[in-house]
Structure 1
Amino acid sequence: MSRLAVILLAILFGTPAWSQTRPNTTAMSCAQAAGLVRSQGAIVLNTGPYTYDRFVSGGGFCAVTEGYETAWAPTADNPQCFVGYRCRSVAPGQSNR
């Protein structure tokens, strides 16, 4: 293996950000998950072992060209918990809400 490859691998896998995990909605109550989104404004949460999504507390956390829609996530006490909103692309001429 070349020296450059070893250095790149060390940088990629040796950074603290690589080992950090996102909060998982399935390990918290519905109230905790919704409260986390509310308190952070915008946050990426795991929604299962291999799934994640970005949740927001309102449209102000979406880009100007995006709208927002209600977002549901599985939690420990509710398989379909309202946690906040999800930003979505909006076609020209559509409402942002």
Structure 2
Amino acid sequence: MPIRKIALCAAAMTVAATSFASARPDTRKMTCAQTQALIQSQHAAVLSTGPNTYDRYVRQFGNECDAPSVPMVAYVPTSGGQCMVYRCDEPSPQVPN
């Protein structure tokens, strides 16, 4: 009986992990406008950008990034091609002239 419970628990964990991964919105299945609107409406969103890739994207203006990070331009694949969004990143140091 304990082996059956372990097998059921393992199966439940596999289903839960698969459901969690599929619950993350995939930019490749959305238009650019849909992707940008989702980020704007939630202020920040973790989005899948490929079979094994994801990242957190944010609004251009707001306090979704922890200092010293700021919203920086990034491009994600969408159903219509590449789409400009913002991701928290540290700005490059400025080189004096």
1:19 aligns with 2:16: no
Q: In structure 1, what is the Cα distance between the partners aligned to 2:87 and 2:10?
A: 34
8 Å Cα contact 2:59-2:71 kept in structure 1 = no
Deviation at 1:18, TM superposition (A): 5.8
* 1:1-97 paired onto structure 2 within 5 Å: 6=6, 9=10, 12-13=13-14, 15=16, 19-20=19-20, 21=22, 22-58=24-60, 60-78=63-81, 80-83=82-85, 85-89=86-90, 94=93
Quick one: percent identity of the two aligned structures?
Answer: 41
Q: TM-score, normalised by structure 2?
A: 0.70
Q: Counterpart amino acid of 1:86?
A: R
Pick closer, same or farther for the CA change 1:18–1:63 going to 2, 3 Å.
Answer: farther
Q: In structure 1, what is the Cα distance between the partners aligned to 2:13 and 2:69?
A: 32
Q: Which runs of 5+ in 1 are unaligned?
A: none
Q: Which runs of 5+ in 2 are unaligned?
A: none
Pick closer, same or farther for the CA change 1:18–1:29 going to 2, 3 Å.
Answer: same
8 Å Cα contact 2:39-2:57 kept in structure 1 = yes
Larger radius of gyration: 2
Instruction: Report the RMSD for the aligned CA atoms in angstroms.
Output: 2.8
Q: Greater strand share, 1 or 2?
A: 2
Count of paired positions: 87
